[in-house]
Structure 1
Amino acid sequence: MLTDTKARKCKTGDKPVSVGGVPGLRFEPSSQNGKAKFTLRFVSPETRKRRDMGLGTYPHISIAQARAKALQYKALIEDGIDPIDQRARDARIQEQENNIPTFATACEKVFADISPAFKNNKHKQQWINTLRSYAIPKIGNVTVDQLRIADFADALRPIWLTKPETASRLKQRCERVMLWCIAQGYIEHNPVSSVSALLPKQPKKRDRVQHFPAVAWRDLPSAAKQLFQADNMTCGKQALLFLILTAARSGEVRGATWDEIDLPNNVWSIPAHRTKTGKPHNVPLSAPALNLLKHRKPFAHEGPWVFSKSGRSPLSDMTLSKILRDAKIASDTAQRFATVHGFRSSFRDWASENGYARDLAERALAHAIKSETESAYHRTDLLEQRRDMMENWGSFLFAGEHHHSE
């Protein structure tokens, strides 16, 4: 049986000796007199191979402490667990626990991971801003392993009924963050999955859909006359007029570049990465749309964008909205002015009321075909068939009068 007296007298070159009290516990003198290391020699219950496990150095670890450790690991061996592997697993768990992020940090890391996939910068910022506005102020400083279902319910409750769409998106984004935490090994279960059980039932989606206020299609000529005066056609107003004439989305118009415009063939080709559907969209250019572009052409040397005040950047998303607000253009929604996106609705109503086929109008709006079967049979964009419709749309707006100036 090894004693402290014998241990202190150990010298370099002495052979390892049995400590005693625990089978396999060895005392191995080191390169310095009076110092040694404790090892536990055992046969792994998992691999059936002999292994040596270090338990610490003498005299930092006493003989009694070494025996206690050895007995602890012997118990694991008897339970069929390799103590070296178990110690490594425990170390990894401890490291993870020491590095578990707060919810705020996890949100930012997930956002950094998924940001490159966003095609639209506005949507990208909305993703993280929703979390920053509603969730992070309440639970951002809590480490993700400490978050419970009730914590997420408390973050969602203030907007759950008053802003159901925002709340639903917030819930989805919180769930996405916590799924990332599961994948990283920080948590085992996603508390957001069951959060609805602690919240009241939201109104059905069809009962809370809010359409963009739009100009009634029969009122469009008078609205156009009010908006587009020949002596006050700013770059922003030209962009808004082009948007109406093409029934395009705001981001598509504001981001339009001259290399997308094919004037000889009267086509505006919007590449896939700039469309909502992720597919290229060809827009037939009517006579008034072409006339407008010809008035913009002298500014093409200033930069790649068709509509730009300085040539250094496209118009902001607020430019077109401000034009409508300042002009106080009435809409079909009580006490609401018309919105930029609403002109697409106006076009759709006009097309329907004037007998154009649904498929033709939907393709003009670049709406995705929801049915896979229908999509498989409709591979053409009906570009040539849409030309006549867009010409008539332009004629309806101005009754043959087109005003363009800078």
Structure 2
Amino acid sequence: MSATVAVKLSDAEIRRQSSVLGVRDLRDPRHPGLRFRFDQSRQAGTWFLVVRRKWNRLARFPEYGPAAILAELPGLRQRLLGRPDEMVALAGLVTFSDLLAWFKDRVASDASLSDSWKSTVRTVVDKHLQPRLGELPILALTPAVLDKALMWPLQAECSTSYVRQIFRVLSLAVSTARALGLIPSNPMAEMKFTNFIKTKISPKDGRLRADHLREVMPALGALFGSSPVDAMLALLMICHGTRVGESRQAEWADFALGHAEWFIPAKRTKTRTEHRLPLTPQVCALLRRYRAIQLESGYAGKYLFPGRKGQPMSASKASSVFRRLASREWSSHDLRKVARTAWLDMGVDGFIGEMLLNHSLGKVADTYIKTKGNGLRREALEQWHEWLDGIGFASIHGLTGVQSAIPHQGPQAKPRKGRSPINELVTGENAEREKASSGWL
């Protein structure tokens, strides 16, 4: 048995050639020098890269599949051309310790992922997955093993929503490794979270209501003179329902006061899609007042909320801001929830509310955005800011002539036009609330 066959290397082709007993080696004309050699069992094999007639062992199959080898091949070839005697063998992923270490490093170096998600993966791997699954062979994982080693102990210690997040990280690590051919199969392919835990996860209720804002808004007004950064961060989020990460990293260049728009680049949003928010006259006046305060204090930099070493405010610093403001009675995310609930009670179309929050939208989103979205978003924010004026916002931004004529016992709906059937297609963390809205007070 010494035949070498030219094929287009893939998992399926290797399986097919394994039944052809006269074939020992496989090569792919697209990748000169790459060789695959079957073991005697023909169920496994070894990858080689031939450079200057030297056969350099790369990795074992099925631990490393064709996709993984082809992804590594350019770098390996370059290393061998420069240093022909260097060892370039790749370690396969055998245990969950191998897999999780690989996945954590991969996530940490992925420029497309947010810092918060990287931190979540690091914590989940280090504190939960590695201690409980590290020594387990990947292919030994079964539903019963996973339930006993991880899922059932976790549900006794952590909230159901956090257990689901841990399961998600593990499932993502395994599926990513399989997609790259680093493991021969995905032992979690048929596993679902509900196979292990049946408890329904309900969204957390917001800890802020409209009557609370009656106290919060005047307090922010009083704070604006002594701690303008803290007050401005909270006000920006109340006015627009933005996430704290989007808000704390805001740059002055993102605000176009001339045509009244706040542009949030895709790299700063959770959905990785750019977000454009209309600016009302009140917010434009607030921004001008805040910039004047910055300039008077000697700061002329690019950030609304500067941090250390020329960077924006850090996530930990932003968290400390809200601990000071709320005394742990509510969180930054509660400001986003209270805005969304207010828009609902004002009669804002559910689709428009989801657009304002930059949630994932339904399949007809593009058409709807082009025809109605921009004007209706502006109208919703104008109505919201008019209501806020009546509970103290007007005295903060100082703009006259825009105070609300809306009664201030709570955000009130304007006469509704026909509800959009698009609401049925909206997806987002608060979409279920559209089914059963209730008053504020």
Check whether TM > 0.5: yes
2:368 is matched by which residue type in structure 1?
Y
Change (3 A) 1:341 1:397: farther
Q: Which has the larger radius of gyration?
A: 1
* Distance in 1, Cα, partners of 2:194 & 2:212: 47
Q: Do 1:152 and 1:195's aligned partners in 2 also have CA atoms closer than 8 Å?
A: no
* Distance in 2, Cα, partners of 1:89 & 1:233: 70
Q: Determine which of 320, 330, 339 is the counterpart of 2:331.
A: 339
Q: Do 2:348 and 2:380's aligned partners in 1 also have CA atoms closer than 8 Å?
A: no
Aligned match of 2:155: 160
Q: Do 1:284 and 1:386's aligned partners in 2 also have CA atoms closer than 8 Å?
A: no
Q: Does 1:81 align with 2:21?
A: yes
Q: Determine which of 389, 392, 405 is the counterpart of 1:398.
A: 392
Change (3 A) 1:294 1:178: same
Q: Report the CA distance between 1:217 and its aligned residue.
A: 1.2
1:81 is matched by which residue type in structure 2?
L
Aligned length in residues: 321
Q: State the identity %.
A: 19
* Distance in 1, Cα, partners of 2:2 & 2:214: 90
Q: Does 1:220 align with 2:213?
A: yes
* Distance in 2, Cα, partners of 1:297 & 1:145: 59
Q: Report the CA distance between 1:283 and its aligned residue.
A: 1.9
Instruction: Provide Cα deviations, 1:23-80, integer angstroms capped at 9, x if missing partner.
Output: xxxxxxxxxxxxxxxxxxx796x98xxxxxxxxxxxxxxxxxxxxxxxxxxxxxxx97
2:367 is matched by which residue type in structure 1?
A
Change (3 A) 1:43 1:402: closer
Name the SS of the counterpart of 1:88 in structure 2. strand
Bigger Cα displacement from structure 2, 142-151 vs 251-260: 142-151
Q: Report the CA distance between 1:345 and its aligned residue.
A: 2.0
Name the SS of the counterpart of 2:110 in structure 1. helix
Q: Determine which of 175, 178, 194 is the counterpart of 2:174.
A: 178
1:160 is matched by which residue type in structure 2?
Q
Q: Report the CA distance between 1:103 and its aligned residue.
A: 1.9
Aligned match of 1:376: 367
Aligned match of 2:235: 241
Q: Report the CA distance between 1:235 and its aligned residue.
A: 1.5
Change (3 A) 1:146 1:347: closer
Change (3 A) 1:240 1:191: same
Q: Report the CA distance between 1:136 and its aligned residue.
A: 0.6
Q: Report the CA distance between 1:309 and its aligned residue.
A: 4.3
Change (3 A) 1:198 1:313: closer
Change (3 A) 1:118 1:126: farther
Q: Does 1:252 align with 2:192?
A: no
Q: Determine which of 117, 122, 133 is the counterpart of 1:123.
A: 117
Q: Do 1:159 and 1:166's aligned partners in 2 also have CA atoms closer than 8 Å?
A: no
Q: Report the CA distance between 1:372 and its aligned residue.
A: 1.1
Change (3 A) 1:201 1:144: closer
* Distance in 1, Cα, partners of 2:300 & 2:142: 55
Q: Does 1:385 align with 2:325?
A: no
* Distance in 2, Cα, partners of 1:112 & 1:149: 26
Change (3 A) 1:365 1:396: farther
Aligned-pair Cα RMSD in Å: 3.6
Q: Do 2:228 and 2:290's aligned partners in 1 also have CA atoms closer than 8 Å?
A: no
Segments of structure 2 that go 5 or more residues without pairing to the other structure are 6-18, 27-35, 47-58, 64-89, 399-441
1:178 is matched by which residue type in structure 2?
V
Q: Do 1:104 and 1:141's aligned partners in 2 also have CA atoms closer than 8 Å?
A: yes
Change (3 A) 1:198 1:276: closer
Matches within 5 A, 1:266-277: 266-277=260-271
Q: Do 1:272 and 1:281's aligned partners in 2 also have CA atoms closer than 8 Å?
A: yes
Name the SS of the counterpart of 2:396 in structure 1. coil
Q: Do 1:245 and 1:393's aligned partners in 2 also have CA atoms closer than 8 Å?
A: no
Q: Determine which of 93, 99, 121 is the counterpart of 2:45.
A: 93
* Distance in 2, Cα, partners of 1:152 & 1:119: 27
* Distance in 2, Cα, partners of 1:258 & 1:197: 43
TM-score normalised per structure 2 = 0.62
TM-score normalised per structure 1 = 0.66
Instruction: Provide Cα deviations, 1:306-362, integer angstroms capped at 9, x if missing partner.
Output: 111446221223444434433446xxxxxx712211112222333333344444444
Q: Report the CA distance between 1:197 and its aligned residue.
A: 9.7
Q: Report the CA distance between 1:121 and its aligned residue.
A: 1.0
2:364 is matched by which residue type in structure 1?
T
Q: Report the CA distance between 1:226 and its aligned residue.
A: 2.5
Q: Do 1:256 and 1:306's aligned partners in 2 also have CA atoms closer than 8 Å?
A: yes
* Distance in 1, Cα, partners of 2:287 & 2:207: 25
Aligned match of 1:135: 129
